[in-house]
A and B are shown apart, each in its own frame.
Chain A
């Protein structure tokens, strides 16, 4: 194995350039290094002005999402060896405006977050101590609670790239996380936004979101499952009097 490997990093410094450029950094090729280790080596030793987000180094904070050799991935979980002999192309996440270098603007997600009402909608006061919820009831929605808001699914989603209003994979999965929670009674309230044009029906079920998800949340599965549910509800609302829907 060679001693070094080249990172081809997309740079964008709006204070000095109008267009993104590419800068190559030669870094040690270490078997145990992730791309994040490589970037930190660059920042600490070669170029202290390179900007990127990171935090936990263990795939739980969801800060270091970027495009590596064309795929949306977490830099802390992407090993240099899997991209050997390089060069390794490192770019910002797609589908988001770039602030500087590998740092992208993510406010769209936070702005849309309230639309899916990600909290317990209760129709009665909460218990004095705890709810009762059986393990099987937890299993119904636990998968959808694993989301780390890393935005890889948005970067992977071809629909989000074209339709900025699309709620997007993670938010629909989050809506399902509450819809399927036995303590929640908000599914009717969430129906309107989810079945609106910018909700589930925008999704063309390419499935890229689930392939990109580092936590196995399977947003594509959540969307597909909800499409069925929404269709049933629509039929019911046409056929049945309100009380029996």
Chain B
């Protein structure tokens, strides 16, 4: 019988990025015995790569900013498909989470008078991103990591053990969740270093595993991003929503090929960088969609004035939401106006002095100098879209982050709904702080309320061991995991990419079905000790499951919205805005169901102009809106609305 190390915890957090660490801190602060499972080394999670900043309406850079403006921007960015309650909580709580992070020791860039500096980003009405140069993610991870270390010192003082209340299991991968009697009972996985197995029994588990980008060939994501949490949730009986919406970040490096996909921060554009095609034309002015026409400049002169006088000018179209910019770049390249390496130019060299660029974008300078031998203070960068973020994820209760399975929670990129069909830059770091905290808090409560803890039966455990060992058992005679992974990435890149078509999506489903069979036959050589081939073999079925969700949902949704563009259905369709596509597993296959979106509370709805709502809502919804507005007018006008949503809205658009 294989040896299995056993642990008992109140709360187990799977994932050690921003959401996971924030959740773990909250669970520990609530007095729960908490485990953090980290797929990579502690402090190396994907959050460390985040560059631009965390969006929070603190109003430091522009006092007109407040949560209502942030809420509106978030809903617009997501093309109104967002879970409104998540967007509301996020906008309201982000400033507190940033200030709290500062008490943990975080460093932020400052205004001249010593307040937290805020920078411009695509889709945000005002400068809103708290940041540290262009390495905000590193500071966030380091701060949370060191907060956990400080809590461990308190625990040592109280109990004589550093790890009595919060323990980090580094380089540990979870392969199964266990559900017994209809609720979460535990998680099973292996240590990368030794290949030994480990069981965590716990009444509450928080998924904070991040995204799915490694299913794509060109991605900004690192090797950990294999959709583990998404797949674990589905196999445990939970549901995923919005899986058709993937964010292709408009500016990834395209040259040299070895770094293709690596992120070039949106801050380059926020700080004055512009996009040009091979003819030197600043083409984004040609791609402002009607829904955003009112908020974006129509001439280069106006756009350039905005950087210094944002109150009297409209924003440059380079700062449209990411989905719009990515599609525009795609069209320019397709029309033959791309660069030699198949991208377009991102130029800040001709727009800002070298000292400014070095001060504001030091990591970008370094990255291009080291990786591409390009001096961004003198030359333009070559960039193109790269798979960056999955809007879709575990369907959760907005207030508690609880998934459909009792005891299971999800926060950060692995959860769905917050960002609708497209996430605004800067809303990810704030999302993972806001909902990481909430997930930790409610997981702790759940552990409290679970009086009877269920054990994981031996047979279930044995099956998990057998599954994990299978690729080693098949040995090198089986399918090569790297080959299968490469083919999966190619299928997703070519057939379920930025621009989608029915025929290609149908083809992708056939190809994925073939790959699913081949994954069952994957075999690897070597032993259990730090064997990367074995690790990949176990990640493959997760990538396949999330890819199937994406392809199926993309085929079903016959419209274009945010991170889902159908060439055969190029318009947004108000009827589709009312629908979430919900994925679950039936046996081995992904099942798709249509489910109505929750209806936005009317006082939130009234934060928008009717003219703007008309671009998104059905006639029926607009009639309801008008009827409600008349009711408000009759009972004393808009003052009651402002009061209902928490104070006067100074930031009207």
Contacts and interface: CB of A to CB of B under 8 A. Distances in A.
B532 A119 contact: no
B99 A32 contact: no
Interface in B94-115: 95, 98-99, 102-105, 107, 109-115
A114 B114 contact: no
A202 interface: no
Contact of A37 (B146, B224, B258): B258
A130 interface: yes
Nearest to B259: A57
B572 interface: no
Nearest to A178: B105
A196 to B, nearest CB: 18
Interface in A139-175: 141-142, 145-149
Interface string B490-529: 0000000000000000000000000000000000111101
Interface stretch (B21-29, B39-47, B402-410): B39-47
B532 A43 contact: yes
Contact of B49 (A30, A58, A127): A58
Nearest to A101: B530
B222 A61 contact: yes
Contact of A49 (B43, B102, B526): B526
B482 A45 contact: yes
A130 B529 contact: no
A48 B525 contact: yes
Contacts of A60: 48-49, 135, 137-138, 363
Contacts of A135: 109-112, 114
Given A34-B258, A63-B44, A119 B371 contact: no
Contacts of A132: 113-115
Contacts of A242: none
Given A14-B529, A53-B41, A131-B102, A48 B48 contact: no
Given A57-B259, A61-B222, A138 B105 contact: no
A134 interface: yes
B531 interface: yes
A233 B93 CA distance: 43
Contact of B529 (A55, A77, A100): A100
B486 interface: yes
A58 B262 contact: yes
Interface string B475-495: 000001110001000000000
B125 interface: no
A235 interface: no
Contact of B530 (A58, A103, A122, A178): A103
A52 B590 CA distance: 35
Nearest to A184: B105
A117 to B, nearest CB: 8
A137 B114 CA distance: 9
B120 to A, nearest CB: 18
A61 B220 CA distance: 13
B174 to A, nearest CB: 18
Interface residues of B, number: 68
Contacts of A32: 255-259, 372
A117 B483 CA distance: 46
Contact of B258 (A13, A33, A45, A61): A33
Given A51-B531, A57-B259, A58-B367, A126 B41 contact: no
A122 B39 CA distance: 33
A48 B532 contact: yes
B527 A15 contact: yes
B68 to A, nearest CB: 19
A118 interface: yes
Interface centre among A145, A147, A183 (most CB of B within 10 A): A145
A54 interface: yes
B135 A149 contact: no
Contact of A134 (B103, B114, B262): B114
A110 B149 CA distance: 9
Contact of B366 (A59, A114, A129, A181): A59
B450 interface: no
B370 interface: yes
Given A59-B366, A61-B222, A99 B193 contact: yes
B110 A133 contact: yes
Contact of A119 (B113, B147, B262, B363): B147
Interface in B115-154: 115-116, 132, 135, 137-139, 142, 146-147, 149-150, 152-153
Contact of A138 (B95, B110, B224, B529): B110
Given A43-B482, A48-B481, A126 B139 contact: no
Contacts of A49: 524-526, 531-533
B356 interface: no
A56 interface: yes
A93 interface: no
B103 A126 contact: yes
A59 B48 CA distance: 11
A145 B146 contact: no
A138 B530 CA distance: 41
B151 to A, nearest CB: 10
Given A61-B44, A128-B99, 18 more contacts: A15-B529, A33-B256, A48-B482, A48-B525, A48-B533, A49-B526, A57-B259, A61-B49, A103-B193, A118-B149, A120-B103, A122-B103, A130-B98, A130-B102, A132-B115, A133-B110, A134-B114, A137-B114
Across chains A and B, which 4 residue pairs bring their CB atoms closest together, nearest first?
A: A32-B256, A48-B533, A132-B114, A49-B526
28 contacts: A13-B526, A43-B482, A43-B532, A48-B480, A49-B526, A51-B531, A51-B532, A53-B40, A60-B135, A60-B363, A62-B44, A63-B44, A100-B193, A100-B530, A110-B42, A113-B149, A114-B150, A118-B149, A127-B99, A130-B99, A130-B102, A132-B114, A133-B110, A138-B107, A142-B132, A145-B142, A147-B142, A148-B48
Interface of B: 40-44, 46, 48-49, 58, 95, 98-99, 102-105, 107, 109-116, 132, 135, 137-139, 142, 146-147, 149-150, 152-153, 162, 193, 222-224, 255-259, 262-263, 363, 366-367, 370-372, 480-482, 486, 524-527, 529-533
